[in-house]
A and B are shown apart, each in its own frame.
Chain A
Amino acid sequence: MQMFFKRLRKERPAATGPEPDAAAAESPPAGADLAVAGLAGAGDGPVETASEEGDAAPAAASGLMRDGHDRVSGASAGDTVPDLRSEVETSAESGGHAVSPQPDTATAHRACSFATSADLEPSTDLPGQEQARAAVEFALAMGGHDFNVFVSAPGVGAAGSVVRTAVLDWVRAYAASRPAADEWVYAIDREPPAPLRALRFPASRGKTFVGQFNEALAEFTAIARTVLASDEHAARRRAVDEAYRIETEQALDALEARAESLNIAILKTPTGHVMAPMHDGEVVRAETFAGLPTSYREDVERRIADVERELVEILARKPGADRRRRRQHLQLDGDVARAISETVFAELLEAFADVPDAIRHIAAIETVAATGLAGMRGEISVSVNAHAPGGALVAGPFPALGLGGGDGIARDLDWLAPYRAHVPLAVEGVAAAIGAPVVDVVLPSAPELTGRMVSAGGSVRAGSGVVVAGALHRANGGYIVVDADGLGADPQAWRALKRALVSGEIRVSLPAEGSADRSASAVEPEPIELKVKIVAVGSAAARAHLERTDAEFARLFKVAAMIEDHVARTPENQEAFARLIGSIVTAHKLLPVTAEGIERLLDVAEAMSGGARRISLDLEPIADLAREADHWARAAGREAIGSGDVEEALATRIERAGAAEAAETASGAGRRRSRGDEA
């Protein structure tokens, strides 16, 4: 590339005054006048500038601007800048590659009339790429997961490259007319450990549902606490307990009273009951009893046996009675929960009546709320009571979450908290575009593509984590533009993308097994149906690498689009090029480029394509050159980048290249000399 620039370089003009471009920059109208002047000259026909060495300036055919100054002075002997006009004619005659006919420079120039790039609307639109764009749009329109498109482009760099930006703009333009994508919401619908369910919502309704649903959960908990603590509810529970007592204690009391009336004492032992004859409230001693008449003794024994039998029946009924009591408590609390959930979720059910996933999920949560509430009360009723300071008496029904219950200590617990829904994090940050989503992935990695699970604190457990969206989440229902070179460099990223495309699902990665961030109970969230098209933008080498590495690649990227690396230097393409320069200026925050500066850059671009009236679209070197020229313009205190600055940039590059070459040559010669000496 350095040799190439060496060829492009012209001698710098003698410093006879301020740079004509500076003058143009300082007074744009003057620059415009110069252009007009150039136009006046150019209107007489193709312009031939007489260089010092008689070179024909390639810009003569451009018609952009002509002051003749720097071209004339810049040309030097030995420049290989061809007489492009003559070359073009020759080429056309000899049937060489088709080039645009010699432009009507006057017309062309009038169409592109401007003083600096600031007068132009910047654009990333690449000239002459209609076929490539059509190929991309074809791939986007095709159904199926395997009609993805690989866009080969010269000089494609990372984010910010002009070509990549242009492709992104094509995709965005296409996506704008597509329907907006569905939204996905994650939530668990049963007691943990449980996987996060993926719920589908129409565009923009998922977030609304999350807000309203979580609010409903909080409302449910608040109302449930109030109801459970109310006198009315306590009275109902007491009634159940009373019925139990009547069934057991009263039965025992009654039996005791009856036994007493029969002069039989029922005594409690540590492990059961014993019966004995009684007199005057005291148990009769065995020896005294033995002295009583046999018939009396037999009668007493019979009575004791009856009482024993009855006692056994009462004791046998106790477990059943206790079970019934517990069930009645659960039923009571279930009724309460259902009444509350009917109130709390009614609005939500109405608002999302047309969303099947929402209806199903709410129904599941209503069941959870009913049984969870009942379970919570069930634990309370058997535990040794203790109050947390200022807190309600609550025991957690979710031991898997380590939330109360086991140790009998009360905790103030929002027991429905694990059931809160969420949209994948970072989806919120994606600009709400019109149409389908488009996501630009610059550094693809597996988690970047498929998302991951995180937890607010501690490790991710089943149902306790939150999904951080990957690119596939964000682009689901739309399109991804991905850096193909990056994809090729990260096999895991490619594998993750391939897996997602082939399965048609997004599976979120859990933290690594055995890591501190992952508990044994962690469960993968439910996969989400994936509908996405991939536009991979990269070099031909990247494509070749991916195809070599994995035969599946070609099967999944059936469409190829080629960004032409050079286009004809027509007025239209020149104008497009000028706007591209404008976008480079914007992207890199450069000084505006004068018309002459743009023309010089055009010359460089033409020379890069080997001349023949074609300009190279390998814009990274052009961008770099523009940036270096900006440096020189600023150093000279100019307000715009002129052709002289471009020249300066070229010259200094050559100098640096020359110095490096000389150093290399010297070291090489030194090595040869030393080897010779040794020999």
Chain B
Amino acid sequence: MVLGIECSEPVSARALAATVHVAQAFHAEVECLLIEDRQLFDVANYTFAREVSAAAPTGRGIDIDALATDMRLAARGAERNLSAMARDADVPVQFRPLRDAPVKALADACQAMGPWNAVALSRPLSRRLLARTGRLFDRVTGMTGVVMASDRGDVADGPVVAVVEDFDRLAGMRRTAERLARVSGRDVRIAIIAATRRQLAWLEREVRQSVAGMPGVDVVPLGAAGGGAEVAAEALRRINPSFVVAAHGGQLLPAEPTPGTLADVLASPLLIVR
């Protein structure tokens, strides 16, 4: 697992926890990149560059030393928190501070570690972040999936949900969900989505056949057929999932998220697979 912590952005504790959860499920170790965005230091060289904030609306000059100090302190805090969580879960973790563009740093790390990496982002899930998932998949080629976590609402305690829109992906998604569920002792629910009622009915039949007899695995349609991302997101919210596994680019996670979709309603971590 490669966890990218951008030291200039807020770090979500739930994102750190989700990272450890996934690492535990896959018996993986975590390579934690403590990224100081190089671009910020580049901007500081501009004569007209100013830092704008609610506290300083007229802007102030960029103090590189202060910037570096702030980011180092943020990194230390994140390191401490993650170390504690990893220790409790018996997950090995390595920390690597570096100064680079965040996406490039992730891409380089994944390339160095070989294929089949899951990347985790420390920022809280938001529509903006979700919108960049496609770009992330494009630029970080060694990434099979990306983990994000929402900071909204209460901690969800429902089943681990694998959202299946393509029958061919059922086995992989189900196995992933089962691994995650084993760590937290939850049940698995296969949530299916289809564009038409006929497709939905077929998919449901096939999926139920496949998982028949598997203990702790349930199948449920995610909203009405063809309901779109909003309907699916709301249906998913009602399940109150403790973890969601979903594929990028489908009905649940369209390339361009809109109001009312998953980022707005989800209260749990999300593993988006390529």
Instruction: Enumerate chain A interface residues (CB-CB to B < 8 A).
Output: 231, 238, 241-242, 245-246, 249-250, 252-253, 256, 265, 267-276, 281-283, 285-287, 289, 301, 304, 308, 311-312, 315-316, 318-319, 385, 387, 393
Q: Is the interface of A mostly helix, strand, loop or mixed?
A: helix
Tell yes or no: B39 within 8 A of A by CB.
yes
Give B223-239 as 1s and 0s: 1 = Cβ < 8 Å from A's Cβ atoms.
Answer: 00000000000000010
Is the C-beta of B52 less than 8 angstroms from some C-beta in chain A?
A: yes
Of A249, A282, A286, A385, the contact of B46 (CB 8 Å cutoff): A286
Beyond A249-B127, A274-B40, A308-B50, whether A269 also contacts B67 by CB under 8 A is yes
Tell me if B79 is interfacial: C-beta within 8 Å of chain A. no
A249 nearest CB neighbor, chain B only: B126
**Bound CA–CA A287/B42 (angstroms):** 9
**Contact: A272 with B53, CB < 8 Å?**
yes
Is B70 touching A267 in the complex (CB atoms < 8 A)? no
- Which residue of chain A is the closest to B128 with respect to CB atoms? A253
In the bound complex, CA of A241 to CA of B265 (Å): 11
| CB contact between A312 and one of B9, B42, B52 (< 8 Å): that residue | B52
Is A267 a contact of B43 with CB atoms below 8 Å? yes
Nearest-Cβ distance from residue A85 to partner chain B, whole angstroms: 102
Q: With both chains docked as a complex, state the minimum distance between the C-beta of A460 and any C-beta of chain B, in angstroms.
A: 37
Q: How far is the CB of B60 from chain A (nearest CB, A)?
A: 8
Residue B155 lies at the interface, judged by CB distance under 8 Å to chain A: yes
> Nearest Cβ distance between residue A364 and chain B, in whole angstroms?
33
B7 at the interface (CB under 8 A from A): yes
On chain B, the residues within 8 Å of A281 by CB distance are 135
When each residue 123-163 of chain B gets 1 if its CB lies under 8 Å from chain A and 0 otherwise, what string results? 00011100100010000000000000000111100000000
Q: Does B264 contact A (CB under 8 A)?
A: yes
**Which residues in A have their C-beta under 8 angstroms from that of B51?**
269, 271-274
Whether A274 and B43, one on each chain, are in contact in the complex, defined by CB atoms closer than 8 angstroms, is yes
Band of interface residues on B: 35 or more
Known contacts: A269-B8, A289-B46. The answer to whether A274 contacts B259 by CB under 8 A is: no
Contacts of A269 in B (CB 8 A): 8, 40, 51, 62, 67, 70
CB distance from B260 to the nearest CB of A (A): 8
Contact of A274 among B62, B127, B260 (CB under 8 A): B62
B67 touches A270 (CB 8 A): yes
- Residues of B within 8 Å of A246, CB to CB, are 259
In Å, the complex CA distance between A250 and B39 comes to 24
Q: Are B265 and A267 in contact (CB under 8 A)?
A: no
Contacts of B135 in A (CB 8 A): 281
Interface flag for B118 (CB, 8 Å): no
Which of B53, B101, B127 contacts A315 (CB under 8 A)? B53
Q: How far is the CA of A45 from the CA of B259 in the complex (A)?
A: 121
Q: Which residues of B contact A304 (CB under 8 A)?
A: 48
B112 within 8 Å of A by Cβ? no
Q: Does B214 contact A (CB under 8 A)?
A: no
Instruction: Give, as a whole number of angstroms, the nearest-CB distance from B247 to chain A.
Output: 24
Q: Which residues of A contact B55 (CB under 8 A)?
A: 271-272
**Inside 8 A of A249's CB, which chain B residues have their CB?**
126-128
Chain A proximity of B217: nearest CB distance (Å): 26
Q: Which of B91-134 contact A (CB under 8 A)?
A: 101, 126-128, 131
Do residues A283 and B42 form an inter-chain contact, with CB atoms below 8 A?
yes
Nearest chain A CB to B84 CB, angstrom units: 16
Q: Which residues of chain A have C-beta atoms less than 8 A from B40's C-beta?
A: 267, 269, 274
- Answer whether residue B57 sits at the interface, using C-beta atoms and an 8 A cutoff: yes
Contact between B265 and A285, CB atoms less than 8 A apart: no
Q: Give Cα A316–Cα B56 distance, bound, in whole angstroms.
A: 10
Instruction: Write out the residue numbers on chain A whose beta carbons fall within 8 Å of the beta carbon of B53.
Output: 271-273, 315
8 more A-B contacts (CB under 8 A) besides A242-B260, A286-B43?
Answer: A241-B152, A250-B127, A269-B40, A271-B70, A275-B49, A301-B48, A308-B52, A385-B155
Complex contact A245–B264 (CB within 8 A): yes
B residues contacting A by CB (< 8 A) are 6-9, 37, 39-40, 42-43, 45-46, 48-59, 62, 67, 70-71, 74, 101, 126-128, 131, 135, 152-155, 238, 259-260, 264-265
Q: Which of A286, A289, A312, A385 contacts B57 (CB 8 A)?
A: A312
A129 CB to closest chain B CB (Å) equals: 78
Q: How far is the CB of A254 from chain B (nearest CB, A)?
A: 10
Cα-based distance from A265 to B43 in the complex (angstroms): 10
Chain A residue at smallest Cβ distance from B154: A385
B134 to chain A: closest CB distance in Å? 13
Contact B8 A270 (CB under 8 A): yes
- On chain A, the residues within 8 Å of B131 by CB distance are 253
Provide the residues of chain A in CB contact with B57, threshold 8 Å.
Answer: 312, 315-316
Q: Shortest CB–CB separation between residue B121 and chain A, in angstroms? A: 13
- CB atoms of B52 and A283 under 8 A apart: no
Question: What B residues does A253 contact at CB under 8 A?
Answer: 127-128, 131
Are A318 and B54 CB-contacts (below 8 A) given A253-B127, A268-B8?
A: yes
Contact in complex: A274, B70 (CB < 8 Å): no
Residues in A with CB closer than 8 Å to B52 are 272-275, 308, 311-312, 315
Whether the pair B74, A286 counts as a contact (CB closer than 8 A) is no
A252-B127 Cα distance, complex, nearest whole Å: 11
A586 to nearest B CB, angstroms?
A: 71
* B86: min CB distance to chain A, Å: 21
> Can you name 30 A-B pairs with beta carbons within 8 Å?
A242-B259, A249-B126, A249-B127, A250-B259, A265-B39, A267-B8, A269-B40, A269-B62, A269-B70, A270-B70, A272-B55, A274-B62, A275-B52, A281-B135, A283-B39, A286-B43, A286-B45, A287-B45, A301-B48, A308-B59, A312-B57, A312-B59, A315-B52, A315-B54, A315-B57, A316-B57, A385-B153, A387-B154, A387-B155, A393-B154
Q: Are B46's CB and A276's CB within 8 A?
A: yes
User: Cβ of A282 and Cβ of B101 under 8 Å apart?
Assistant: yes
Residues of A within 8 A of B9 (CB): 268
CA distance A471 to B58 in the complex (A): 72
B41 to chain A, nearest CB (A): 10
Report the bound CA distance from A249 to B10 in whole Å. 14
A363: shortest Cβ distance to chain B, in Å? 34
* Contact of B37 (CB < 8 Å), options: A245, A256, A267, A319: A267
Instruction: Collect the chain B residues with CB atoms within 8 Å of residue A315's CB.
Output: 52-54, 57
| CA–CA, A301 and B46, complex, Å | 10
Chain A residues with Cβ below 8 Å from B42 are 276, 283, 285-286
* Docked CA distance A318–B54 (Å): 9
The residues of A that contact B153 with a CB separation of less than 8 Å are 385
B264 nearest in chain A by CB position: A242
| Bound Cα distance A587, B76 (Å) | 86
* Contact across chains for B49 and A276 when beta carbons are under 8 A apart: yes
Q: How far is the CB of B26 from chain A (nearest CB, A)?
A: 28
Shortest Cβ gap from A667 to chain B (Å): 91
Instruction: Say how far A674's CB is from chain B's closest CB, in angstroms.
Output: 95
Q: In the complex, what residue of chain A is closest to B56 when comparing beta carbons? A: A272
- A312 to B58 alpha-carbon distance, docked (Å): 8
Residues of chain A within 8 A of B56, CB atoms compared: 272
5 tightest Cβ-Cβ pairs between the two chains A and B: A272-B53, A286-B45, A270-B70, A283-B39, A276-B43
Interface centre among B37, B52, B58, B265, by most chain A C-beta atoms within 10 angstroms, is B52
Closest to B13 in A: A384
Chain A residues positioned under 8 Å from B71 (CB to CB) = 270
Chain B residues positioned under 8 Å from A316 (CB to CB): 54, 57
> Is there contact, CB below 8 Å, between B39 and A256?
no
User: B155 contacts which chain A residues (CB < 8 A)?
Assistant: 385, 387
Q: Specify which chain B residues have a CB less than 8 angstroms from the CB of A242 in the assembled complex.
A: 259-260, 264
Q: Say yes or no: A270 contacts B50, CB within 8 Å.
A: no
| B123 to A, closest residue via Cβ | A268
CA distance A250 to B261 in the complex (A): 13
Chain B residues with CB below 8 A from A282, complex form: 39, 101
Instruction: Please determine whether B43 and A283 come into contact, CB atoms closer than 8 angstroms.
Output: yes
Q: In angstroms, how far is the closest chain B Cβ from the Cβ of A398?
A: 23
Please give, as numbers and ranges, the residues of chain A lying within 8 Å of B264 by CB-CB distance. 242, 245
